[in-house]
């Protein structure tokens, strides 16, 4: 049976990206050696990092003065590196969920943290719109897509202070105006690559403004200077990221990815709104195009396990919602096909007909 991968992360990647990466693990560019056993300083590996950076810049139209880095540690290490490198006295955070809260927790170790708004009052089902950005803060941190709650801030906001965004789960799903950000970062395992690498897009002249000493590995300047090669980088995840960046380019770039994301969302949200059994959890204006969350209506709550079992029997993988939200979550990253969304909808319709 065909499986449709709706996992939230690590998550679906284009089949050809997986095949190309697997092939390179067996024999890297006809060298007779595996990608897993060559030096990151080998002559044929440097072009992998160079092309991945160049394609990132091309696909997101990244202006001059920014550097793309491939690091270890996941988005979670960035929660600490961001304040280490940018927080002198005070930082502002928009609290839109668990990840934002974790980022704030780390920042508090380095200085004052102002929560400018929070949607915790309604279990993070919306993106707050009324807030004032303190102009005396060192930066504003946002989470553009809230993977757990299925909410997304799908615009590049104007900030009077340096703007830093965790885009772990919606990077490369739409065009972004990078010039509005001092830094964008994320773990790769949602929409870029396999787990193991973290991407960072950083404005070079935004660095070096704090007075504290920063340990070498946690100082972005180290990695800018060494082109992500200060220490051994995660070569296989970087290679699969490159294969995916090539795939995105060959399939029309981020504009085409956005168009597909909107088509997928229309199909799935359309059914969530139509089906008598289900209801979406996120406020409509905050709905994510990447993680589509829904629950059973109160009167059908006892069907929770039945629907999961039914969906699984039809080849749907990973549709169980996060424990903080319950219900279901269909993560529809770039590689999710329209066919996959239609299969999910068919499954929801069939289940409805049985009840
Ligand atoms: C998954 C996720 C993280 C955590 O990423 P790690 O790479 O596992 O540290 C952080 N932020 C968001 C928005 C995420 O979806």
Q: First CA to last CA across the chain, in angstroms?
A: 25
Q: How far apart are CA 329 and CA 271, in angstroms?
A: 14
Q: For position 272, what pLDDT does the model report?
A: 98
Bridge pairing between strands 183-187 and 163-166: parallel
Average pLDDT of the chain is 98
Active site residues: 99, 166, 190
Q: For position 276, what pLDDT does the model report?
A: 98
Under 8 Å between Cβ of 198 and 219? no
Q: For position 143, what pLDDT does the model report?
A: 98
Q: For position 115, what pLDDT does the model report?
A: 98
Q: Is 275 in the pocket of ligand 1 (CB under 6 A)?
A: no
275 CA distance to ligand 1 middle (Å): 31
34 CA distance to ligand 1 middle (Å): 29
42 CA distance to ligand 1 middle (Å): 31
Closest CA to 69 of 234, 214, 281: 234
Q: Is 143 in the pocket of ligand 1 (CB under 6 A)?
A: yes
Q: For position 35, what pLDDT does the model report?
A: 97
Q: Is 196 in the pocket of ligand 1 (CB under 6 A)?
A: no
Q: Is 9 in the pocket of ligand 1 (CB under 6 A)?
A: yes
Contacts of 304 (CB under 8 A, 6+ apart): 296, 326, 327
Task: Classify residue 255 as exposed, middle or buried by CB count within 10 Å of its CB (0-12, 13-18, 19+).
Answer: exposed
Q: For position 209, what pLDDT does the model report?
A: 97
Q: Is 329 in the pocket of ligand 1 (CB under 6 A)?
A: no
Question: pLDDT tens for residues 189-229?
Answer: 999 999 999 999 999 999 999 999 999 999 999 999 999 99
Residues of the chain with pLDDT under 70: none
Q: For position 134, what pLDDT does the model report?
A: 98
Q: For position 246, what pLDDT does the model report?
A: 98
Q: Is 237 in the pocket of ligand 1 (CB under 6 A)?
A: no
203 CA distance to ligand 1 middle (Å): 21
Q: φ, ψ for residue 269 (rounded to 5)?
A: -65, -35
Q: For position 111, what pLDDT does the model report?
A: 98
Contacts of 138 (CB under 8 A, 6+ apart): 86, 87, 88, 89, 90, 91, 111, 161, 162, 209, 210
Q: For position 67, what pLDDT does the model report?
A: 98
Q: Whose CA is nearest to atom 8 of ligand 1?
A: 74
Q: Whose CA is nearest to atom 5 of ligand 1?
A: 75
């Amino acid at each position: 049976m065909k499986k449709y991968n709706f996992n939230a992360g690590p998550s679906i990647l284009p089949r050809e990206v997986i095949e190309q990466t697997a092939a390179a693990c067996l024999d890297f560019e006809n060298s007779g050696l595996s990608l897993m056993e060559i030096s990151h300083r080998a002559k044929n590996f440097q072009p992998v990092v160079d092309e991945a950076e160049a394609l990132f810049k091309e696909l997101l139209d990244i202006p001059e003065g920014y550097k793309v880095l491939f690091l270890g540690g996941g988005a979670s290490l960035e929660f600490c590196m961001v304040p280490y490198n940018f927080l002198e006295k005070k930082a502002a955070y928009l609290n839109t969920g668990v990840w934002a809260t974790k980022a704030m927790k780390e920042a508090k170790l380095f200085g004052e943290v102002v929560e400018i708004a929070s949607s915790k009052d309604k279990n993070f089902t919306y993106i707050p719109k009324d807030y004032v950005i303190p102009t005396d803060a060192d930066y504003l941190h946002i989470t553009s897509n809230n993977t757990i709650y299925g909410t997304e801030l799908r615009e590049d906001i104007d900030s009077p202070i340096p703007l830093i965004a965790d885009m772990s789960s919606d990077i490369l799903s739409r065009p972004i105006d990078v010039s509005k950000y001092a830094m964008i970062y994320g773990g790769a395992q949602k929409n870029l690559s396999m787990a193991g690498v973290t991407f960072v897009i950083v404005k070079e002249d935004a660095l070096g403004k704090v007075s504290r000493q920063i340990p070498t590995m946690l100082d972005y300047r180290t990695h800018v200077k060494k082109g992500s090669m200060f220490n051994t980088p995660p070569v296989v995840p970087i290679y699969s990221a490159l294969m995916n960046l090539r795939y995105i380019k060959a399939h029309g770039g981020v504009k085409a990815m956005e168009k597909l994301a909107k088509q997928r969302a229309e199909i799935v949200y359309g059914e969530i709104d139509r089906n008598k059994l289900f209801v979406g959890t996120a406020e409509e204006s905050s709905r994510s195009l990447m993680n589509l969350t829904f629950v059973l209506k109160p009167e059908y709550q006892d069907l929770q396990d039945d629907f999961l079992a039914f969906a699984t029997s039809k080849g749907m993988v990973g549709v169980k919602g996060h424990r903080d939200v319950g219900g279901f979550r269909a993560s529809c990253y770039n590689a999710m096909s329209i066919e996959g969304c239609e299969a999910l909808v068919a499954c929801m319709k069939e289940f409805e007909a049985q009840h």
